[in-house]
Amino acid sequence: MLSLTGSGTTHTCDGVSRRDFMQVGTLGAIGLSMADISAIEARAAETGTQRRGQDDRACIMIFNLGAPSQLDTFDPKPDAPREIRGPFQPIATKSPEIQISEIFPKHAELADHISFVRSCNHGAPAVHDAGWQMMQTGRFFTGGVNTPHAGSVTAYLRGRKTDLPPFVVLPELMGSGGGNMPNGQSGGFLGKAYDPFALNADPSKPDFTVPDLLPPKQIGEARLQRRQKLREVVDQTISGFEKSENAQLIDSSFQSAFRIISSPHARQAFDLSKEPSSVRERYGMNRFGQCCLLARRLVEAGVRFVTINTFLTVFNEVTWDIHGTLPFTSIEGMKNIVAPMYDQGYSALIEDLVQRGLIGNTLVCNLAEFGRTPRVNPAGGRDHWPQCWTVYFAGGGVKGGRVIGRSDPVGGYPAERPVTPPDIVATIFHSLGFNVEDILPGPAGRPFPLADSGTKPILELFT
């Protein structure tokens, strides 16, 4: 099969031939080939009519890369000794059942829309990459099998609704977690056709553009030169290729591939300048806040699954990874920098979804790879702790104002209703209308169930 690997993509509105399309680039920059797009559309045609009752459901997964401390955020223990409870006080929320840390006042105002699961745990290694795999795919990768991200499964089962990709990651894929393992943000054994569209840009920047959706005049001379070299390669093989069996595949998928990168609808969905300044400022003029706003726009425009990485790596930036010593963050750093940004962006997203009537069909899940040690360490931080932590959900059929599960008096272990990462992923699938007993085509053609045997969605969230 002819392999084209352009450095980017570009738009024209009309008058573009298949060969011209090859000249200006391919979908390689976003991990997709035209044959891949054809595969997505074929699968969509096969399954797109299934489960129509929830076909409009979407998911926004906010992944709190670095792992927040459960005791300092959403499972405070005010009666524990100070070295356990930490420096923050709990505050009441709009839901009488729920108290959370004082550093999230906007969350407190929206607690009637949110349900917390305080008993999440896993037995994988206490390294970031392992938790990333578990929480986004429901599996720890073993035996060379990379399980697809929940968004990739959604793309496979549902296809796309519009010209936009079905699965988008903002602002870009996860970076290093220190474990040198796959991070779980790919199509895995489903193939590159189901990899996400990664934005690869900071939407809070004044000159924000989506690199793979730029019109021709903005792609730059350097890209044009690279694409001319690509054209030369194509020209050397195109005459023979057009006689091959693969040519028909390229012809049949050309229109669908071109539609993604040439669609005015796609460009408009990514265009934050369409939003009033007051709305952008309400989300916060920072990377996370603007990613939350962009996620709302994408879901509204027809994207089925959006993952927001709150941070890109645990190294050399202030994150949830509060070990207390450089290159990591302190508890105070979390309070002064991370929490205000996060509280503002998340609350604006939920308020916007409610006001626009989107909350019922949009699941917003806030996940992390593990929790933090119950006892504050000598550096004034907390270390990795997969034995117990909190995740939470809103929208997508979830009943707000609830607490599912309970941790012990020091937030160290589940004391009631233990929940594992496969349960979390199954809950996402349940909201989207998937049957967790459905089978995917696994590696080497072997059947692969959506969920491990015995895994069940957290149905208490929905009833």
Q: Within a 10 A sphere around the Cβ of 415, how many other Cβ atoms?
A: 15
Q: Which amino acid is at 426?
A: A
Q: At 399, list the tokens.
A: 């009943």
Helical (H) or strand (E) element with 197: strand 197-198
Omega of the bond prior to 327 within 30 degrees of 0, cis? yes
Residues recorded for the chain: 463
What pLDDT does 227 receive? Answer: 52
The tens digit of pLDDT for each residue in 117-154 reads 999 999 999 999 999 999 999 999 999 999 999 999 99
| 324-351: average pLDDT | 95
Q: Within a 10 A sphere around the Cβ of 448, how many other Cβ atoms?
A: 18
98 contacts 111 by C-beta, under 8 angstroms: yes
Q: How many CA atoms lie within 13 A of 245 on its CB side?
A: 1
Share the mean pLDDT of the chain. 85
Residue 93 has pLDDT above 90, yes or no: yes
| DSSP alpha helix (H) spans, 5-55 | 18-24, 34-47
Residue 20 has pLDDT above 80, yes or no: no
Helical (H) or strand (E) element with 447: strand 447-449
Question: What distance in Å separates the CA atoms of residue 98 and residue 112, rounded to the nearest whole number?
Answer: 9
Question: What distance in Å separates the CA atoms of residue 393 and residue 309, rounded to the nearest whole number?
Answer: 16
| 91-95: average pLDDT | 95
User: How sure is the predictor about 454, in pLDDT bands with cuts at 50, 70 and 90?
Assistant: confident
The tens digit of pLDDT for each residue in 144-177 reads 999 999 999 999 999 989 889 999 999 999 998 8
Q: Which amino acid is at 442?
A: G
Q: How many CA atoms lie within 13 A of 434 on its CB side?
A: 28
Residue 79 has pLDDT above 50, yes or no: yes
The tens digit of pLDDT for each residue in 352-370 reads 999 999 999 999 999 999 9
Q: Residue 279: CB partners within 8 Å, gap ≥ 6?
A: 293, 352
Q: At 86, list the tokens.
A: 């930490």
The tens digit of pLDDT for each residue in 367-407 reads 999 999 999 999 999 999 999 999 999 999 999 999 999 99
Residue 9 has pLDDT above 50, yes or no: no
The tens digit of pLDDT for each residue in 268-298 reads 999 999 999 999 999 999 999 999 999 999 9
Q: Spell out a b/e string for 325-334, using b for 16 or more CB atoms within 10 Å of the CB, else e.
A: eeebbbbebb
CA distances from 57 to 16, 158, 392 (A): 35, 10, 18
- For 422, the 3-state DSSP assignment is helix
Q: List domains and CATH numbers for the chain.
A: 56-207+264-461 (3.40.720.10)
Residue 39 has pLDDT above 70, yes or no: no
- Lowest-pLDDT range, 18-27, 83-92, 230-239, 269-278? 18-27
Q: Spell out a b/e string for 8-24, using b for 16 or more CB atoms within 10 Å of the CB, else e.
A: bbbbeeeebebeebbbb
What pLDDT does 29 receive? Answer: 41
Residue 11 has pLDDT above 90, yes or no: no
Nearest Cα residue to 111 out of 340, 348, 402: 402
What pLDDT does 12 receive? Answer: 31
